[in-house]
Amino acid sequence: MTQTPLSSAPQRVRLGTRGSPLALAQAHEVAASLRAASGGAFEAEIVTFTTTGDQLTTERLINSGGKGLFTRELDDSLSRGDIDIAVHSLKDVPSLLPEGQFFAAFPAREDPRDGFVSHIAATLRDLPAGARLGTASLRREAQALALRPDLEVVTFRGNVQTRMRKLEEGLADATFLAMAGLSRLGHAGKARPIPLEDMLPAAAQGIIGVVARENAAADLRAALARLNVAASEAAATAERAFLAQLDGSCRTPIAAHLFDEGSTWRLTGEVLSPKGEQRWRAEATCRKDASLARLAALGREVAGEILESAQGQLPVFGDER
């Protein structure tokens, strides 16, 4: 009588992530998707990191190195081979990955909108004169002050839970949180979504980036590729190309979003002055079946229009705190 051979044990994949509740929720989402996409051939072991950015609670990020502070420890670990893949909130990832690394997948995008949270007003417009707005983002600060220059902006740093606690403690009258993070944590009902056209989000907001080494095993690369969603990849490509062309960093209020308009993509991007007194906005379209190269060109095209409007002199100040 012939016996059915036992199935081989799943291969272990060391998945690196920041240790915040949101980052862990994203990591578990990717781990479950990888297991399903590989038919159980791969099993992720989650390895958590406390990044330099996580340790900064009051200081401006730019004073300590900028946006890469949220990825550097994971980048180094991936390059050394201590982990096999890294999972990031894509809006935290610098324009260029370290040498030898690539984006293996962009899973389905979550809600890209910003959310307004306040115990005293339903919208930003409804806040009383001189109200205190807590935010950790120069972009959100500039966009809010463009509409409400009377507001007092106070610095809010920390993860979703920390910022919600600060609001409860009365350190501010209102704040903004990304709807993507709230949704992934099951707290979407705590904020009022702001229409994209009213508040253009950060480039790649709501997208997860899964990064691997270029020399990763072919079977792992193939399994990760099954997690990729074409619309997420299109948005990531166009929005990050826009950011890169502007040399976007924590120093400049920049926003961008790729809108799905049926048969076409429309990329809208903007740059603001620190207090929102000036705003440079541009947009362009391409066919929905455009290649990734064309989408990257779209991002550069929109950025070029803004640079031309600003005569090449974009404002640089502050940071995403």
> What gap in Å lies between CA 81 and CA 79, rounded to an integer?
5
Catalytic residue among 92, 114, 173, 319: 92
Look up residue 2 and give its DSSP letter.
P
> What gap in Å lies between CA 47 and CA 167, rounded to an integer?
31
- Determine how many CB atoms are found less than 10 A away from the CB of residue 4: 5
Query: By C-alpha distance, which of 164, 158, 186, 177 is closest to 20?
Result: 158
SS3 at position 169 = coil
Write out the DSSP string of 141-163. HHHHHHH-TTPEEEE--S-HHHH
> What gap in Å lies between CA 243 and CA 314, rounded to an integer?
13
Contact indicator for 319, 135 with CB cutoff of 8 Å:
no
Burial class of residue 158 (count of CB atoms within 10 Å of its CB; 0-12, 13-18, 19+): middle
Q: How far apart are the first and last CA of the chain?
A: 68
Q: Compute the C-alpha angle 158/162/165, nearest 5°.
A: 145
Contact indicator for 101, 212 with CB cutoff of 8 Å:
yes
> What gap in Å lies between CA 125 and CA 116, rounded to an integer?
11
Residues 6+ apart with CB under 8 A from 33: 107, 227
Residue 92 annotated among the catalytic residues of the structure: yes
Contact indicator for 235, 258 with CB cutoff of 8 Å:
yes
- Catalytic positions, written as ranges: 92
